[in-house]
Amino acid sequence: MSKVLFSGAMIVPVDESRPGFFTGDILVEGGLISKISEFPERITTETEVKVIDAGRLILMPGMVNTHGHAAMVLFRGYADDLPLKEWLEQKIWPVEAKLTSEDIYWGTLLSIVEMLKGGTTTFADMYFYMDQVAQAVGESGIRAVLCRGLIGVGENSATSLQEGEQFYRDWHGRGAGRINVTLGPHAPYTCPPEFLKKVIIAADRLHLPLQIHLSETAGEVEACRQEYGCSPIVLMERLGLFEQKVIAAHCVHLDDEDIQIMARRQVRVAHNPGSNLKLGSGVAPVAKLLAAGVTVGLGTDGAASNNNLDMFEEMRLAALLAKGINRDPTLIPADKALRMATVDGAAALFLEKTGQLKEGFRADMIGISRELPHAVPLHDLPAHLLYSAGAADVRLVMVDGEMILEKGELLYLDEEKIKAEAAARAAKLTGRSET
Ligand code: NI
């Protein structure tokens, strides 16, 4: 692995022991951040090292997208402004049924191009044809936490869990450790209790975290109460799901008892404000979750319900929604919003030593331009990154100590080819011509 010295950068470490920002150098070797200096102290090395003049960049940890369905970028803009049930049943499920493994491969690559160029260095994914998703992750250099989406009803329910386990055996730890695999029961309304019990036993046996959608809509919670006499969170607690490591996506409709259970069981939350707003699902009670001590990361969800994979946007939405809804501008300040998008997201995905610019941590970092009009003046860097910066400001991306993007250009992926392939496949799937 290469050895890189970033010289003279403005650094936002997102590290509570080093709050705010400073100017300094960062040395990366063996995939890790080995040294950080703060001016006037400088890093000098005697061995050969690639030096990057980072004087025009703000360096921060890469964004961690804690929930999504990457290949759904193929359905970006295909069905908008519809109720969730109609959107799924009449639009999304029929086109998803036509997806081939090759479609998933190219769709995932397109999503990875978008995520990397927008500063995301780790993403979570729940979908199908996951071998192709893992292949795309391996080729691209990005870090990922992947699971096969498990549906516990219908003809494929018996084999889906076996496939989920096989996917773990085939791919966990590959890509030089960048590919992590979990199990992925889709949701309580698609995975009945008997099926979930089998998933819990498998997770326990394999020591794997679980990704699941929980309490996304009011209708889902109401249906659960009618069928089981309790909320989805209480139902999961009774089934023993929370004795495993759980990443729960959405968690929009929670009562106080739900939040207490989640805090006690250390359930991690993937908050998807953009998707929840667009589908009219509501706004998750993030301030209450944080006050209860729950770890909350941020996610985009699939691009069909967002419609982009821009983590700067999700970070800003999370902060602004919490302030506006609670009429309290002190909620989710810039430092906390940055943590949610980075280190808290990594913790939500059960990744260790990831999401901070700190000695001994994985060298997953991004460089943001400080030369754009909206970066002048630069009084407070965390506030700039939260309120002013955007995905298009990203100039440099490093994952696991490897440079993936420099001067805004991807070094290994053929962006033009990926865009053309994905566009052609999307047009074929949806029956709409390319424009
Ligand atoms: Ni989802």
> Averaged over 261-276, what is the pLDDT?
98
Answer yes or no: is pLDDT of 190 > 80: yes
> Averaged over 33-49, what is the pLDDT?
92
Report pLDDT for 339.
98
Between the CA of 249 and the centroid of ligand 1 the distance, in Å, is 7
Between the CA of 306 and the centroid of ligand 1 the distance, in Å, is 11
Q: Where in the chain is the domain with CATH 3.20.20.140?
A: 63-348
Between the CA of 398 and the centroid of ligand 1 the distance, in Å, is 27
Between the CA of 354 and the centroid of ligand 1 the distance, in Å, is 23
| pLDDT confidence tier of residue 396, bands split at 50, 70 and 90 | very high
CATH number assigned to the domain with residue range 63-348, chosen from the 4 options 3.30.450.190, 1.20.140.10, 3.20.20.140, 3.30.2320.50: 3.20.20.140
Between the CA of 85 and the centroid of ligand 1 the distance, in Å, is 14
Between the CA of 149 and the centroid of ligand 1 the distance, in Å, is 10
Between the CA of 188 and the centroid of ligand 1 the distance, in Å, is 13
Between the CA of 366 and the centroid of ligand 1 the distance, in Å, is 26
Answer yes or no: is pLDDT of 75 > 70: yes
Between the CA of 402 and the centroid of ligand 1 the distance, in Å, is 29
Between the CA of 363 and the centroid of ligand 1 the distance, in Å, is 28
Between the CA of 26 and the centroid of ligand 1 the distance, in Å, is 36
Report pLDDT for 435.
55
Between the CA of 69 and the centroid of ligand 1 the distance, in Å, is 6
Between the CA of 46 and the centroid of ligand 1 the distance, in Å, is 49
Report pLDDT for 433.
67
Between the CA of 406 and the centroid of ligand 1 the distance, in Å, is 31
- 6 with 52: CB under 8 angstroms? yes
- Is the Cα dihedral 382, 388, 393, 394 positive or negative? positive
Report pLDDT for 141.
97
Answer yes or no: is pLDDT of 372 > 60: yes
For residue 52, what are its two tokens? Answer: 């990057």
Between the CA of 210 and the centroid of ligand 1 the distance, in Å, is 14
> Averaged over 407-435, what is the pLDDT?
91
**pLDDT tens digits, residue range 295-351?**
999 999 999 999 999 999 999 999 999 999 999 999 999 999 999 999 999 999 999
User: pTM for the complete prediction?
Assistant: 0.98
CATH code that applies to domain 4-61+358-410 = 2.30.40.10
Between the CA of 102 and the centroid of ligand 1 the distance, in Å, is 21
Between the CA of 403 and the centroid of ligand 1 the distance, in Å, is 30
Distance CA 313, CA 389 (A): 9
Between the CA of 35 and the centroid of ligand 1 the distance, in Å, is 38
Between the CA of 58 and the centroid of ligand 1 the distance, in Å, is 31
Between the CA of 378 and the centroid of ligand 1 the distance, in Å, is 36
Q: Where in the chain is the domain with CATH 2.30.40.10?
A: 4-61+358-410
Mean per-residue pLDDT of the chain: 96
> Averaged over 101-121, what is the pLDDT?
98
| pLDDT confidence tier of residue 1, bands split at 50, 70 and 90 | low
Answer yes or no: is pLDDT of 367 > 90: yes
**pLDDT tens digits, residue range 8-37?**
999 999 999 999 999 999 999 999 999 999
Report pLDDT for 219.
95
Answer yes or no: is pLDDT of 46 > 80: no
Distance CA 222, CA 188 (A): 12
Between the CA of 185 and the centroid of ligand 1 the distance, in Å, is 11
Between the CA of 1 and the centroid of ligand 1 the distance, in Å, is 35
Answer yes or no: is pLDDT of 238 > 60: yes
Between the CA of 14 and the centroid of ligand 1 the distance, in Å, is 27
